[in-house]
Structure 1
């Protein structure tokens, strides 16, 4: 059985990180973009992270330029997220979330939590809630505000 711990991803600093580093935590995996109408959700994601991180919750941000709304380089992305939204949760290097070059993590997430319209990530700020066991609990669309996920995070932490 595949879990989030079976994957690795490069951080914004270019270091390869095993996602098993987050084993036993509840994770919210989000494809992000710096120049999107949903970009202000960074503030809500950071608030959610701050609210629950001491309980074993982490937000994992994965910038993607597949919708043509991300900055060019990792340093600019990191600076933007920190300066504008005070992001302290882990951010990773840009990835593809769809297509033949999709990061294996997103291929797995989409397979585990397809939408009624299919598996593809439709837009930036699609969110996947992963339980302490490393399995996908639920998928949320771009319109779902981070605050609206708080009850599901609380339930996952209590499970």
Structure 2
């Protein structure tokens, strides 16, 4: 049964994983830092984003997901990146874009590399632990309340999809 479920997840652009805890400290778009360790105790969905991407509308679903589950412990962290040449030129522009267009109030990192040798250490650790590397903007990585990668999804899987909501709910119950 487990093999069937894993095959089903992979066919929908998701991967169910069990890894060692993954840590990460990002520069916050507001200054200071965002330490993923501070969110331990609840699941964390990390999404590499870009303001000028065809998937940018997913910011809306990211905020809805965050609003739906934040009181139960979920944190959604947006990590803007220009790795695919679709991000605005400054953190101030990104912050303004996200606040004005999507009214985001989730944690938002500064513009951060997510692929290649210069990728942020969080994304390098996820790649080393699981083999998952963002192939485009709006890839999603779900961390368990203890920091293990428990699921990954590509750009086509929307944040409010049943696959992501089910995975989040499973972590909220665990």
Report the TM-score, using the length of structure 2 for normalisation: 0.84
**Please, which of 75, 80, 105 is the counterpart of residue 63 of structure 1?**
80
Q: Distance in 1 between matches of 2:50 and 2:94?
A: 9
**Please, which of 138, 145, 153 is the counterpart of residue 168 of structure 2?**
153
Contact 1:131 1:156 in 2 (8 A): yes
Q: Distance in 1 between matches of 2:118 and 2:77?
A: 20
Q: 1:20, CA displacement in angstroms?
A: 1.6
Partner of 2:130: 113
Contact 1:95 1:103 in 2 (8 A): yes
Q: 1:112, CA displacement in angstroms?
A: 2.8
- Highest CA radius of gyration, 1 or 2? 2
Q: Distance in 2 between matches of 1:150 and 1:63?
A: 22
Q: Distance in 1 between matches of 2:151 and 2:88?
A: 28
Higher mean C-alpha deviation, range 21-30 or range 31-40:
21-30
1:84-108 CA-partner distances (Å, limit 9, x unpaired): 1111100001111111110000111
3-state DSSP class of the match of 1:60?
A: strand
Contact 1:33 1:69 in 2 (8 A): yes
Q: Distance in 1 between matches of 2:172 and 2:129?
A: 20
3-state DSSP class of the match of 1:38?
A: coil
Contact 2:75 2:106 in 1 (8 A): yes
Q: Distance in 2 between matches of 1:17 and 1:125?
A: 19
- Structure 2 unaligned blocks of 5 or more: 1-18
1:94 corresponds to 2:111: yes
Alignment map for 1:68-79 (pairs within 5 Å): 68-79=85-96
Q: Distance in 2 between matches of 1:14 and 1:2?
A: 29
- Structure 1 unaligned blocks of 5 or more: none
